[in-house]
Structure 1
Amino acid sequence: CKVLNLIKQYCCFLIFNFPFALEPKITRPPINVKIIEGLKAVLPCTTMGNPKPSVSWIKGDSALRENSRIAVLESGSLRIHNVQKEDAGHYRCVAKNSLGTAYSKLVKLEVEGKELHFSP
């Protein structure tokens, strides 16, 4: 807009803040993890989109179900408490909203057995 008076000319800028739609995007994808059995593993998966994407995880070819050990955090990351040998495998993060779906690349969770140390 422009405002004119006899002495000076003034300019102002109008800023409009319109909500916008954005298809889901994975901004911090998961990475391969190698962990010792019994510890806690966290596979990151940070997303963006509008509306905010829901995040789920796939292990192998199946949707991963949350339980007392396995949870999808508010950030989208996957947390596995007390990692077991059967948790090893390939994982993929999925971000979904009304505009579409984004998939991360496959990552591998490797679980190594606990090492036992004996004293002589």
Structure 2
Amino acid sequence: MQSFLIYVVLPPSITTQPSSQSINVTQIARFICRASGYRILYQWRIGSGSFPSKVTGINTNTLVISDVRSSDENTYTCIASNEGGNASSRTVKLTVKGNVDPPTISRHPTNMTVKLENSTTMVSLRCEANGATSYNWERQSGSIPSRATWINTNTLTIINLQIKDAGYYRCVAINNNGQRYSKYCRIIINGRLAKDLLQEGEYLKSYYNILHSPYQYYSTSQHIS
């Protein structure tokens, strides 16, 4: 008579349930699940949508969500499985307190082409962002003209425009949880996009008289266009 040994693999049993969490934005959320059984594999499931790339541990017993944002508010479930079957943990929820993320740019400033007509010529750049509590403006090379106004507003206005004001500008949207930068826009004046007026090796032939003459200069190298 032959004898047989029959091995029965029982499904896992959840021994440590994950807990719901309520944390502030930018913090780290960790959900821990443990199960008893033979050769257990773990997998986490999200209630809706898919896991962002910042989430780690999806196939382990510990799910880690770093730099938590309001978009991470969701439900999460741990699945423990082996050859005998699977077991699901209770479904837990992540609540993000404050529910505030860094701003998101909804309107980038647009390029401007300006012809100097007189000393009162002005230009305005505008930026809009969701969730911003204040704004700043930056120039790619050099400083923003002292004639400009923008303090904590989404509109940069340069009055008494001069040829040297041509260049690249961008907006910075700010709140308590971070900041976001708009795309650079360019201001072209009298058909030129100056890089702080002139590149190295160039120099002014004469001072620019905004009321009476076009801007004149000569260069030892190719001029900026």
What TM-score do you get using the length of structure 1 for normalisation? 0.65
Structure 1 residue 95 and structure 2 residue 173: aligned?
Answer: yes
Among residues 68, 77, 83, which one is paired with 2:155 in the alignment? 77
Which amino acid is the alignment partner of residue 72 of structure 1?
W
Secondary structure, aligned partner of 2:130: strand
Q: CA deviation at 1:21?
A: 1.7
Contact 1:30/1:93 (8 A) holds in 2? yes
- What is the distance in 2 between the residues matched to 1:106 and 1:98? 23
Contact 1:59 1:90 (C-alpha < 8 Å) held by counterparts: yes
Secondary structure of the corresponding residue to residue 160 of structure 2? coil
Moved over 6 A (4+): 113-116
- After TM superposition, list the pairs within 5 Å mapping 1:7-22 onto structure 2: 20-22=99-101
CA distance in 2, matches of 1:33, 1:102: 22
Amino acid at match of 1:43: L
**TM-score normalised per structure 2:** 0.37
Which structure 2 segments of 5+ residues have no match? 1-96, 192-209, 213-225
Residue in 2 aligned with 1:59? 139
Shift of 1:61: 4.3
By how many angstroms is 1:110 displaced?
A: 0.7
Match of 2:125 in 1: 43
> Looking at CA atoms only, which structure, 1 or 2, has the larger radius of gyration?
2
Q: Which runs of 5+ in 1 are unaligned?
A: 1-17
Aligned residue for 1:57, secondary structure, equals strand
Distance in 1, Cα, partners of 2:133 & 2:104: 9
Higher deviation after alignment, 84-93 or 55-64: 55-64
Larger strand percent: 1
Cα RMSD for the two superposed structures: 2.7
SS in 2 for 1:23: coil
8 Å contact from structure 2 (residues 134, 152) kept in 1: no
Mapped contact 1:43–1:77 kept (Cα < 8 A): yes
- 1:58 partner letter: E
1:91 and 1:106 in contact (8 A); partners too: yes
Percent of paired sites with the same residue: 31
Bigger Cα displacement from structure 2, 38-47 vs 87-96: 38-47
